Structure 1
């Protein structure tokens, strides 16, 4: 059994604990992304009622989904710093996964808008325990020579889970109810919530059995956990980790503009929902295909070239979406926007991990994960507010952010790998 496990792990060339954690994040990603599709359907069903606070169904859906992102991102710096103080990562991940499993199950009993709002809010807090601790653990299990590859593998698995959930969630709901042995009948919504619960529980078990904290984490607990804005020791004006956080915010906002303007996109391109689904998925396809190879490449050739190139590529791929009139070309633009994001994300985490001192990973890396989460929440709000001024306006706005991000990275971030030849790469003799 051990030899079989080693053969399965070998192609990824990462610590088995990193792969186990990546698999756990894939499982909970499937369950959590299920809800992105299921919650809007649930809100508009006959099951949910009660006071709507004077808001329409579409606004209620937006509030419920956005609350998750804002709470998740806002709490991450606190959970990341707390895990640094205690010198423990695994307990935080398990607390988050347990909370996620329980709240997924709670949806079965939710029958009011207020209860859905409370459950989704608690889920945001639960995931805030998982994200910074998981990324910090991957960082601490890696070395400077393979950190990019480890981050790439972790993100690849996570994105596979996130992309797989929505692909089947609608079908699970629409094909219900389901007849189970013993004469038990389960509705489509209940089945979806049960699947999400099982996914989170599976993640909990994987982490419990296969993941452990490295001894160095506890030994270095309580280091300086401040997050400077100014560069204290380098030649630049801004701290490089803070700069990467700002760039991640701008990047995430630009890539999330597309998500909530489906009616306008379909009307402009004279296309149906199938084309929009393909265009939306194109971004994730690029991410899944490229996260690991780009992560490994940045271990060999340096972090900064990939980050700068990715931010520069983000500029035309974002702007083009505001002016294209072809469904196929929009798919291509989204595909290359995914390439841009893949060039930024794993190398940025690796560079920040290089700069984080012992016992600081949770605090430092949470800046990037928090910023990315805020961007994913702000993007849809921005496009919804700006699209009324013209279809191209949201994408021009996103392009401006990409330009600022590229300038910041180019001028304020230095390379952390000394030379290509001096850095050992996993798999080299």
Structure 2
């Protein structure tokens, strides 16, 4: 086992604590993404009842799922700042994972729509403790020369967990009830109960991994002056906008474009004359590209620089978003989503690495939370935008996403400069700072 662990560490060439954190986030990602599939099924089951406040079940599902995203994203700058102020990342991660474990178990007791709303809101709060502290920890364990690779490895395993959860969740629910060999006659649990137990167990496993394998970096210092404010103007005066703010806006636009597909499954299936299986494959294509490319792109941006990859990724996002509104076959939609995933992979790890390069001592939590908050908001805004716009025509949501991608590309190209002073020549020459 130790030899295998050494081989894995050598393959990914990162601090063992980064790898341990990546595995921990993979485990809690499996459990958390389970709920994306399970909660809508749970809401429509006979188990849940109570006041609906005049809302349809579909709207209740949307509110429950969206509340998690909006709370999580809104609170990340706050928790990131506090982790900077106390200079302790591990404690924040453990608080969040502990909250996830308990709230996953709380679903077993939920019997009303309101209780589900409260539990999901508390889960959003819990994840808001985990994300900024995790990214800050990766940033502080890395150096300027390997930061991209570390971010890539971390994101790769996190996305593996996020992608694997929904695949297994439906099967766990549908194959229930289960009889556990406890006592003389055994104990029977429903498929829903089994899913919530799986989510709680994976969160508890993550807690154990972080407790045993993770320590705060020796050089991390508390920053009592950590500021919650996000700089909009460039303090150096070289550009109009602050580069981290610019990357946050670009990340928001990218995530919005990526998430447009989420809520228009009926329209997509009708247009392409396909079933739900094809839609699931198309939706997962983005995650597949991310898993395959995050680590190599992160490594490459340590060699060639951050900015070229971000610019190329944003440029690629433009046609890959627009074409999704124009395709007419399931196969071409799959290829479009795969290409959009490539665009996202080119942007995300290098953007985090560039922001990490710019973050000062004790500022990783607050600075990098700008990007993680923006991504979370984009994932929440995208489905709402497509749901509102698709009534005007199938292509309209994707035109909207394309416009955002164009604006994001212009902002990155004009407002973000390279942070690596020494790097190999990039194969494709880029003007404007490269």
| 2:276 paired with 1:273 | yes
In 1, are the aligned partners of 2:179 and 2:189 still within 8 Å (CA)? yes
In 2, are the aligned partners of 1:223 and 1:360 still within 8 Å (CA)? no
2:319 pairs with one of 295, 316, 321: 316
Match of 1:377 in 2: 380
Distance in 2 between residues matched to 1:376 and 1:258, nearest whole Å: 11
What secondary structure sits across from 2:220 in the alignment?
helix
Match of 1:229 in 2: 232
1:256 pairs with one of 256, 259, 264: 259
How many angstroms does 1:8 deviate by? 2.4
- For structure 2, which runs of at least 5 residues remain unmatched after alignment? 426-434
Please, what is the CA RMSD of the aligned residues?
Answer: 1.0
1:188 pairs with one of 186, 191, 201: 191
How many angstroms does 1:9 deviate by? 1.4
In 1, are the aligned partners of 2:226 and 2:366 still within 8 Å (CA)? no
Match of 2:35 in 1: 35
How many angstroms does 1:215 deviate by? 1.9
Distance in 2 between residues matched to 1:140 and 1:28, nearest whole Å: 22
TM-score relative to the length of structure 1: 0.97
Match of 2:67 in 1: 67
Distance in 2 between residues matched to 1:24 and 1:280, nearest whole Å: 24
Q: Deviations over 1:151-192 (max 9, x none)?
A: 000000000000000001000000000011031001100000
Distance in 1 between residues matched to 2:90 and 2:198, nearest whole Å: 24
How many angstroms does 1:57 deviate by? 0.6
Q: Deviations over 1:271-318 (max 9, x none)?
A: 111110110010000000000000000000000000000000000000
Distance in 1 between residues matched to 2:389 and 2:226, nearest whole Å: 41
Distance in 2 between residues matched to 1:2 and 1:157, nearest whole Å: 20
How many angstroms does 1:409 deviate by? 0.1
How many angstroms does 1:4 deviate by? 4.0
Count matched residues. 421
Distance in 2 between residues matched to 1:275 and 1:227, nearest whole Å: 41
Q: Deviations over 1:93-142 (max 9, x none)?
A: 00000000000000011010000000000000000000000000000000
Match of 1:92 in 2: 92
Which aligned pairs between 1:17-416 and structure 2 lie closer than 5 A?
17-182=17-182, 183-218=186-221, 220-225=222-227, 226-416=229-419
Distance in 2 between residues matched to 1:393 and 1:92, nearest whole Å: 41
TM-score relative to the length of structure 2: 0.96
How many angstroms does 1:75 deviate by? 0.5
Distance in 1 between residues matched to 2:7 and 2:388, nearest whole Å: 51
- For structure 1, which runs of at least 5 residues remain unmatched after alignment? 423-429
Distance in 2 between residues matched to 1:421 and 1:23, nearest whole Å: 31
Match of 1:426 in 2: none
How many angstroms does 1:253 deviate by? 0.3
> Is 232-241 or 312-321 further displaced after alignment?
232-241
Distance in 2 between residues matched to 1:57 and 1:421, nearest whole Å: 55
How many angstroms does 1:216 deviate by? 1.4
Distance in 1 between residues matched to 2:367 and 2:384, nearest whole Å: 27
Distance in 2 between residues matched to 1:360 and 1:251, nearest whole Å: 24
Distance in 1 between residues matched to 2:231 and 2:178, nearest whole Å: 54
Distance in 2 between residues matched to 1:298 and 1:265, nearest whole Å: 35
What secondary structure sits across from 2:420 in the alignment?
coil
What secondary structure sits across from 1:217 in the alignment?
coil
What secondary structure sits across from 1:215 in the alignment?
coil
